[in-house]
Amino acid sequence: MYVRNRMSANPYCITKDTAISTALDIMADHNFHRLPVVDGKRLVGLVTEGTISEHTPSKATSLSIYELNYLLSKTKVDTIMIKNVITIGPDALLEEAAVLMRKHNVGCLVVLEDNEVIGIITHNDIFQAFVDLLGYYEPGVRYVIEVTEDKPGILAEVAQCFFDQSASITNLAVYHYPGKVDIVIRARDAESEAIQQTLTSRGFNVVSVLKNQ
């Protein structure tokens, strides 16, 4: 799965001369949490709700609401924006995006192609991709099969059990632990009891079966 498949394409961008108050209005009107800052088509920064909050006087300030609004309307985003923006290409794997976010402790990456901003991908996009990968919202039955002997061909053996019951496997994930492997399979078009019996008869430990209608 690639970044371009999960990013928000053509994000709203602002210039470095945009007032902070204007950036706040744009975020509020469109339910945005961050805005790329561009100079022409070149990325020069990123403004987020967090950066604005960090540079906005606290509630303990002696400024009146009118003075505060005036200050925000006269202060440009280039004075507070993140300048060393972490970016990624659209053809990078989703795993690469997740690793970059963790490494740099950021909640989003600006996506660049030919040095132009074409999208934004956030940690929520990564979470949603993970949920979709496991087919959480898809109809069917989820089976967790514990395998203690991780050997070549073991996945084919497990899949054969589903094939024998004419089940369609829609999602599959493998989790490695010390001394064992959990194979998580979501399937449909077959009786869960029959599949479970087939797996058990062939020596596989079915840890759980969860139906999702």
Query: Residue 39: what are its φ and ψ, rounded to 5°?
Result: -120, 100
Residue 40 belongs to domain with CATH number: 3.10.580.10
55 plus 111 within the same structural domain:
yes
Same domain membership, residue 106 and residue 10 = yes
Question: What are residue 96's phi and psi, to 5 degrees?
Answer: -65, -40
Same domain, 123 and 139: no
Write down which residue in 130, 151, 186 finishes a domain: 130
CATH code (residue 204) = 3.30.70.260
- The count of structural domains within the chain is 2
Structural domain of 36:
3-130
197 and 173 assigned to the same domain: yes
Please report the pLDDT score of residue 60 as a whole number.
45
Q: Backbone phi, then psi, for 119, in 5-degree steps?
A: -175, 175
Residues 33 and 102 both lie in one domain: yes
pLDDT-derived band at 137 (thresholds 50, 70, 90) equals confident
Comparing C-alpha atoms, which of 91, 139, 116 is closest to residue 41?
A: 116
Co-location of 15 and 87 in the same domain: yes
CB 162 within 8 Å of CB 185: yes
From residue 51, give the alpha-carbon distance in Å to each of 14, 161, 193.
Answer: 15, 53, 54
Predicted confidence band at 73 (pLDDT cuts at 50, 70, 90)?
confident
Threshold 0.85, pTM exceeds: no
For residue range 1-14, list pLDDT tens digits in order. Answer: 899 999 999 999 99
Secondary structure E strands in 81-138: 87-88, 108-113, 116-122
Instruction: For residues 45 and 120, state if they share a domain.
Output: yes
Worst-scoring range by mean pLDDT, 6-10, 137-141, 191-195? 137-141
Q: Read off the pLDDT band of 184 (50, 70, 90).
A: very high
Same domain, 83 and 58: yes
Q: Which residues, 6 or more positions from 211, have their beta carbon under 8 angstroms from its beta carbon?
A: 140, 141, 142, 192
Q: Are residues 124 and 64 in the same domain?
A: yes
- Check whether residue 109 and residue 200 sit in a common domain: no
Torsion-angle region of 195 (φ positive above 0: left; ψ -120 to 50: alpha; else: beta)? alpha
Tell me the per-residue pLDDT of 23-67, one tens digit each, with 9 for 90 and over. 999 999 999 999 999 998 899 999 999 988 887 655 445 555 666
Domain's final residue, options 130, 153, 174: 130
- The DSSP H or E segment spanning 149 is none
Look over the chain and give the mean of its residue pLDDT values, rounded to a whole number: 91
Nearest alpha carbon to residue 8 among 39, 33, 26: 33
The dihedrals phi and psi of 68, each to the nearest 5 degrees, come to -65, -45
